Amino acid sequence: MIIDLSLPISEETPVYPDDPPVNVRLWAVIDRDGYYMNVLKMGEHTGTHVDAPAHFIPGGKTVDELPLEKFIGEGLVLDVRGGEGEIKLDEIPDSGYFDRVVLFLTGGRELSPEVALFLVAEGAKAVGTDSMSIGDEAVHKILLSAEVPVFENLAGLEALLDKEFTFIALPLKIEGGSGSPVRAVAILHSEE
């Protein structure tokens, strides 16, 4: 079974404060042009997306420079909706992160720098959240300087609690891109 973890992209898609709004304009219609097509205008960090190191790290890799293996891996969802403020170390298990895509079901909370440092030290492959932002500038810099991609605005993580799955979220190959919208999915290992 494949579970879609992506928000739809439309003019109603919420964007981070001061980011460009989404604009979808009709370009061609079948009756007039023989085909149908829209023109999209939006920021790289619109909807469900990935942050590349270049988003916060001077000289960091851009989204087209990261190996595709960074966007695919065995996933783990941590439910931290019960807490308040930044997510702290004592709210998450103390092991099991090596080479995994660690996804946080937050209810709007953000990671603390100590959690970001811990995930890097434990060898997490990538980190993601259902929030618009994984955390403040320090959290982004900790993860991205270690070339740990950051996925934001994930949807439907509740369906993955206590499940084994493979996470896949491939970016567009944007030359020099600081990030990219993704179609994030989870492939369940068994039909439970």
**Which residues of the chain are modeled with pLDDT < 70?**
191-192
Task: Report d(CA 54, CA 59) in Å as an integer.
Answer: 6
Q: Is 13 helix (H, G, I), strand (E, B) or coil?
A: coil
Q: Could you tell me if 112 and 90 are in contact, meaning their C-beta atoms sit under 8 angstroms apart?
A: no
Distances (CA, A) of 148 to 25, 40, 65, 116, 138: 35, 28, 13, 10, 14
Position 78 scores a pLDDT of 97
Task: Report d(CA 102, CA 111) in Å as an integer.
Answer: 12
Q: Specify the DSSP element, H or E, that contains 116.
A: helix 113-121
Position 190 scores a pLDDT of 82
Q: Which of 22, 50, 47, 69 is nearest to 177 (CA)?
A: 50
Task: Report d(CA 53, CA 75) in Å as an integer.
Answer: 21
Position 192 scores a pLDDT of 52
How many other β-carbons are positioned within 10 Å of the β-carbon of residue 167?
Answer: 26
Position 191 scores a pLDDT of 65
Q: Could you tell me the two tokens for 13?
A: 């898609």
Task: Report d(CA 155, CA 49) in Å as an integer.
Answer: 11
Phi, psi of 127 (to 5 degrees): -135, 145
Q: Could you tell me the two tokens for 89?
A: 């170390």
Task: Report d(CA 41, CA 133) in Å as an integer.
Answer: 21
Domains and CATH numbers, the chain: 2-8+44-188 (3.50.30.50)
Distances (CA, A) of 29 to 9, 10, 26, 174: 20, 18, 8, 27
The pTM for the full model equals: 0.95
